Structure 1
Amino acid sequence: MQSFRTLIALLLAVGSLHAFAADDALYQDLGGGAGIRRIVADLLPAVQADARISASFDGVDLEHLAEKLEEQFCDVAGGPCKYSGKDMQTIHEDLKLNHAHFNALVEDLQAAMERNGVPSRVQNRLLARLAPMHRDVVTK
């Protein structure tokens, strides 16, 4: 599994989401919209079953969450989608999430991508683009 230190290194290397070109190569490498839907469909039951973070998803509308995650992953990967959800800081400010929670979600996302045949290099590219969100998600 990708370590938190590696994610931080990627975060520092990338700087921000705006540093990426607008091409859709990552989106295509993830399998396009269908591939992202499969990853998200695999991810949500995993986080619900993950004792480290499952409480954070209590009472969450999982259908809405799936829709927003699909949009976000598509947008971040350079696909044709535009994320229409709230910003990460607003969504997570009251959850008091720490580094361990963030790492657990990253591990669950990696496992979902593995189960869906996403190569490690493609996983790392998506994680690098998501890494800047760390500062808005971890609030504790």
Structure 2
Amino acid sequence: MNSMFRHLALAAALFASAGAFAQTAPQRTADDSLYQALGGKGGLTTLMDRFMERLLADARMRPFFKDSDQQHVKEQLVLQICEVSGGPCRRDGPDMKKAHDGMDVTRGDFNALVEVLQDTMDAQGIPFVAQNRLLAKLAPMHRQIINTP
């Protein structure tokens, strides 16, 4: 039941952000309340450490991350989530389309990654409302990341 509720909430968050799907980059905001709810830079660093561990343990996600520079990926994710959540960070890496080019990411892969992220946020005790706010900000990136039907 909890899983079904989480998926419904995710769907609601994605539909709520539907107007943003045409954007190519996450919106920056002066409001840092989401950044604070995620635990600031320290909380994000811990979250991404745990997220990477879970990605590598997940048979669906492992192929995408096992041969990557995992430390670099974690650092980029911290910067990206810090930025989109209203924190002081700015990520200077390639856009999401270029970063995922040639990785053959499907919608199922994208959804699996979101599932792992949700589980990681749950395990870290991030409030459900903050989780949905973050997912709504990240959702517009799906058009740049999914590159295989």
Output the TM-score relative to the length of structure 2.
0.86
2:109 aligned with 1:128, yes or no? Answer: no
Mapped partners of 1:6, 1:52: distance in 2:
25
2:102 aligned with 1:94, yes or no? Answer: yes
2:15 aligned with 1:9, yes or no? Answer: yes
Aligned-residue RMSD, C-alpha? 1.7
Mapped partners of 1:42, 1:57: distance in 2:
14
Q: How many residues align?
A: 139
1:130 Cα deviation (Å)? 0.4
Mapped partners of 2:62, 2:13: distance in 1:
22
Q: Equivalent residue of 1:94, what SS?
A: coil
Which residue does the alignment assign to 1:72?
Answer: 80
Q: CA, structure 1 residues 125+8, in 2 after alignment: closer, same or farther (shift >3 Å)?
A: closer
| 1:17-66 deviation per Cα after TM superposition (whole angstroms, max 9, x unaligned) | 33x63211110111101111111011001011111121111310001111
Q: Equivalent residue of 1:84, what SS?
A: coil
2:42 aligned with 1:34, yes or no? Answer: yes
- Return structure 1 stretches of 4+ with deviation > 2 angstroms: 1-8, 13-18
Q: Equivalent residue of 1:123, what SS?
A: helix
Output the TM-score relative to the length of structure 1.
0.91
Equivalent pair of 2:14/2:135 in contact (CA under 8 Å):
no
Identity %: 38
Mapped partners of 2:13, 2:65: distance in 1:
23
Q: Match of 2:96, as an amino acid?
A: M
2:58 aligned with 1:50, yes or no? Answer: yes
Equivalent pair of 1:7/1:127 in contact (CA under 8 Å):
yes
Q: Match of 1:87, as an amino acid?
A: D
Mapped partners of 1:120, 1:62: distance in 2:
27
Mapped partners of 1:66, 1:21: distance in 2:
22
Q: Equivalent residue of 2:139, what SS?
A: helix
Q: Structure 1 regions of 5+ residues with no counterpart?
A: none
Deviates more, 1:49-58 or 1:39-48: 49-58
Which residue does the alignment assign to 1:114?
Answer: 122
Q: Structure 2 regions of 5+ residues with no counterpart?
A: none
